[in-house]
């Protein structure tokens, strides 16, 4: 069964939509192009780019003007570049890159804005001193006491910082004696720490202001590397770039004119993800263009129901950018009609998709209710039923990375990395980014080392792997091939069941063969010269545990990490490199992670809660079809959007397994998915 045959009528409708887009481009009438999942949005956007290039390219070239194509991610940038091919006229970039390029050359004005920002921050902190309950002990001090206290703490800053992570008792002991004149000051150590941090912060900000004033600091910098502003270091992060961009565009008509003259066309991909500040900028440019008679075209391409990140503008677009013409496309080119029908019921808005194909039935979709413990067998059941193999894998979606990791088979590894100092506490956020990223460059230091190790290990294990693939980078090409063969032969003999054993076996091979050229390979993997097992272990430990606190705890955590089985590491290796080579029959994703992708066979595992919301999905079903307002509506829509994104990934076969109490949501589930199945009906436990 295949999706095929597009009627002349449908072809014509599609063509008409394109014509309408082109007409508005000609008129420089800004538009929102709304269409559901699988409608071919990116294709449409690229066709619009081509149209502009063909019709206006020469003219733009002569005036040294460009078309700005803005996307949300670098991956999308590359995709569009690849599909569009080379063009000097179109400038494809991320939002942040583009906005920063507009403002970064006007440093004098930026520093001014930055100064205001710092002053606001100072006011905010001062207000907190007065109003926050956590600053009570500070509030009851008089001016004199406050300045005395500040002086003491600034003098003893080092002691404060060093003692910061200690427990309350020990921390109190380490604080200077001079503080004894303030009784009860450390009655609550956390409050005390909080106030002192605020004092330090205030001092740094004020110092920064002085240095700006003194002409010492003249430049604001943006780096995509950091996720947080460091105002006092003149360093801003993602959100603030957009914020400053908006302020600049609002404040300086000249800048608006410069941008307009440079970019008469803006095409924005996945508009629902762009932040409101960006839309405000576009609106200002659009309106100013009309005012001065240099009209521009702004095209927003996206789907508000696929807005699954909170900072995206989503459905608010038309309230922020005025006078946009709404163009819709109701076709779906991805899925079988059975899937499309259900997806329409989930979104339940003016987009009501139909397949563009004449032959479009033959898909299957069903909602099951079951227990948490059924998940594995449920997946296996469909793996068999749908004749899953490596070329036709089964894709399973879970809400959290932890579940994805568990089912992908490397939970022990994940948990043992989580226990390390480098990935716990305040650095917890780094865990998923640095351990689960599909981009090698984004992996953390140790995960990257382990990746190189596993790359070698797996390459060696599979005898047919070509030599070239075992080698990771150019440096490795210098290795003498016959020496390499020897090493490989040796390594293939050695084996181990855990990470620790593998490392030991590599290094015993390595030291036996000292003097031979092939240890270069090992040097490259571990990025060390003539390393030994103990040295590598020490290196890993020092990278994962900065402080030399509690030896026993570190020892235990290292033991836990080194006891990770090779099987787990292999599973992890395949997980992070999956996008490159599909070698698994069952592939697991988070709902979020599947955005923009499509799969033949999909299983969605769902429970009633997600994140902080204990009844996230349950709530969606309970409120389905009801009139809602404010928070209820917001929560409802965010659950709906996530569910919509997940469901619309499926091309042909989709099952949803709900592993919580079905009773409260039964009615709505039936309305959307039809009859509910139970896992008992499948006889999962029989075999």
Partner DNA sequence: ACCTTGTGAATTTTT
Partner DNA sequence: TTCACAAGGT
For DNA, the binding residues (CB under 7 A) are 72-75, 94-97, 167-169, 186-191, 224, 227, 238-239, 308-311, 399-402, 424-426, 428, 432-433, 436-437, 590, 592-593, 610-612
Q: What residues are paired with 34 via a beta bridge? A: 302, 328
d(C-alpha 76, C-alpha 92), whole Å: 9
d(C-alpha 210, C-alpha 116), whole Å: 13
Helical packing angle, 8-27 and 41-62, nearest 10°: 40
CB of 89 to DNA, least distance (A): 22
Closer to DNA by CB, 493 or 551: give it.
551
Closer to DNA by CB, 191 or 283: give it.
191
CB of 457 to DNA, least distance (A): 26
Closer to DNA by CB, 293 or 425: give it.
425
CB of 77 to DNA, least distance (A): 8
Q: How many residues does the chain have?
A: 687
Closer to DNA by CB, 74 or 478: give it.
74
d(C-alpha 387, C-alpha 410), whole Å: 25
CB of 670 to DNA, least distance (A): 27
Cβ neighbours of residue 542 closer than 8 Å, sequence gap 6 or more = none
Tell me which long-range contacts 318-321 makes (C-beta under 8 A, separation of at least 24): 318/32, 320/276, 320/279, 320/280, 320/283, 321/30, 321/279, 321/280, 321/282, 321/283, 321/286
Closer to DNA by CB, 355 or 590: give it.
590
Closer to DNA by CB, 531 or 558: give it.
558
Closer to DNA by CB, 186 or 476: give it.
186
CB of 190 to DNA, least distance (A): 5
CB 62 within 8 A of CB 34: no
3 state DSSP class of 60: helix
CB of 465 to DNA, least distance (A): 28
Taking the CA of residue 22 as centre, how many other CA atoms within 13 Å lie in the half-sphere pointing to its CB?
Answer: 15
d(C-alpha 278, C-alpha 268), whole Å: 10
CB of 674 to DNA, least distance (A): 28
Q: Give kind and range of the element (H or E) at residue 599.
A: strand 599-606
Q: What residues are paired with 325 via a beta bridge? A: 31
Closer to DNA by CB, 12 or 165: give it.
165
Q: What residues are paired with 354 via a beta bridge? A: 331
Taking the CA of residue 423 as centre, how many other CA atoms within 13 Å lie in the half-sphere pointing to its CB?
Answer: 25
CB of 272 to DNA, least distance (A): 13
Closer to DNA by CB, 116 or 597: give it.
597
CB of 607 to DNA, least distance (A): 11
CB of 489 to DNA, least distance (A): 40
CB 568 within 8 A of CB 413: yes
Backbone φ and ψ for 361, nearest 5 degrees, come out as: -100, 165
Taking the CA of residue 79 as centre, how many other CA atoms within 13 Å lie in the half-sphere pointing to its CB?
Answer: 15
Per-residue exposure over 522-553, b if at least 16 CB sit within 10 Å of its own CB, e if not: bebbbeeeebebeebbebbbeebbeeeeeeee
CB of 40 to DNA, least distance (A): 22
Closer to DNA by CB, 401 or 571: give it.
401
Q: What residues are paired with 67 via a beta bridge? A: 90, 265
CB of 255 to DNA, least distance (A): 21
3 state DSSP class of 388: coil
CB count in 10 Å sphere of residue 173: 9
Q: Tell the residue number behind the tokens 């270091």, with chain if given.
A: 233
Closer to DNA by CB, 356 or 647: give it.
647
Closer to DNA by CB, 22 or 226: give it.
226
């Amino acid at each position: 069964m295949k999706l095929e045959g597009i009627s002349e009528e449908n072809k014509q409708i599609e063509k008409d939509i394109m014509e309408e887009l082109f007409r508005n481009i000609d008129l420089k009438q800004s538009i929102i192009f709304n269409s559901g999942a699988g409608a071919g949005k990116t294709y449409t956007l690229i066709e619009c780019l081509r149209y502009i290039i063909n019709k206006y390219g020469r003219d733009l070239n002569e005036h040294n003007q460009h078309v700005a194509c803005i996307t949300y991610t670098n991956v999308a940038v590359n995709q569009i570049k690849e599909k569009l091919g080379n063009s000097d006229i179109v400038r494809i970039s991320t939002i942040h890159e583009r906005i920063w390029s507009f403002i970064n050359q006007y440093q004098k004005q930026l520093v001014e804005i930055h100064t205001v920002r710092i002053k606001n921050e100072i006011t905010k902190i001062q207000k907190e001193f007065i109003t926050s309950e956590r600053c009570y002990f500070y509030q009851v001090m008089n001016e004199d006491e406050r300045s005395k206290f500040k002086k003491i703490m600034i003098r003893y800053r080092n002691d404060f910082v060093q003692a910061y992570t200690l427990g309350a008792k020990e921390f109190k002991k380490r604080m200077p004696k001079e503080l004894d004149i303030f009784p009860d000051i450390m009655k609550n150590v956390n409050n005390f720490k909080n106030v002192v941090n605020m004092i330090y912060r205030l001092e740094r900000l004020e110092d920064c202001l002085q240095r700006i004033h003194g002409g010492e600091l003249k430049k604001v910098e943006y780096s995509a590397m950091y996720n947080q502003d460091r105002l006092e270091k003149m360093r801003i992060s993602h959100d603030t770039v957009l914020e400053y961009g908006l302020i600049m565009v609002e404040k300086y008509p000249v800048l608006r004119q410069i941008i307009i003259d440079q970019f008469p066309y803006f095409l924005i991909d996945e508009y629902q993800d762009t932040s409101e500040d960006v839309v405000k900028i576009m609106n200002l440019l659009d309106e100013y263009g009309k005012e001065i008679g240099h009209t521009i075209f702004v095209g927003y391409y996206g789907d508000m129901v696929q807005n699954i990140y909170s900072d995206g503008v989503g459905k608010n677009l038309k309230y922020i950018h005025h006078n946009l013409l709404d163009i819709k496309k109701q076709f779906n080119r991805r899925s079988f009609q059975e899937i499309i029908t259900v997806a329409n019921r989930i979104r339940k808005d003016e987009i009501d998709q139909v397949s563009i194909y004449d032959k479009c039935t033959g898909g299957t979709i069903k909602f099951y209710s079951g227990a948490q413990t059924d998940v594995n067998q449920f997946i296996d059941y469909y793996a068999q039923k749908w004749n899953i193999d490596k070329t036709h894998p089964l894709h399973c979606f879970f809400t959290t990375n932890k579940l994805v990791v568990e089912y992908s088979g490397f939970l022990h590894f994940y948990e043992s990395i989580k226990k390390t100092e480098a990935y716990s506490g305040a650095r917890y956020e780094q865990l998923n980014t640095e351990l689960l990223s599909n981009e090698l460059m984004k992996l953390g230091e140790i995960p990257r080392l382990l990746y190189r190790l596993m790359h070698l290990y797996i390459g060696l294990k599979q005898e047919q792997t070509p030599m070239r693939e075992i080698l990771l980078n150019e440096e490795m090409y210098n290795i003498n091939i016959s020496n390499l063969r020897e090493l490989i032969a040796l390594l293939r003999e050695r084996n181990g069941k855990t990470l620790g054993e593998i490392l030991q076996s590599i290094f015993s091979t390595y030291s036996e063969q000292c003097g031979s050229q092939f240890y270069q390979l090992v040097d490259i993997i571990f990025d060390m010269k003539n390393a030994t097992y103990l040295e590598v272990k020490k290196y890993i430990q020092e990278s994962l545990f900065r402080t030399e606190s509690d030896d026993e705890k570190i020892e235990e955590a290292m033991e836990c990490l080194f006891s990770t089985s090779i099987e787990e590491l292999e599973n992890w290796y395949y997980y992070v490199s999956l996008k490159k080579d599909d070698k698994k029959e069952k592939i697991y994703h988070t709902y979020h992670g599947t955005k923009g992708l499509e799969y033949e066979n999909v299983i969605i595992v769902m429970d009633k809660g997600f994140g902080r919301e204990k009844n996230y999905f349950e709530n969606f079903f309970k409120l389905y079809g009801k009139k809602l307002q404010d928070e209820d509506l917001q929560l409802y829509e965010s659950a709906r959007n996530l569910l919509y994104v997940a469901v619309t990934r499926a091309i042909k076969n989709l099952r949803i397994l709900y592993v919580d109490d079905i009773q409260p949501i039964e009615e709505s589930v039936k309305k959307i998915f039809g009859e509910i199945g139970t896992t008992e009906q499948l006889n999962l436990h029989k075999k």
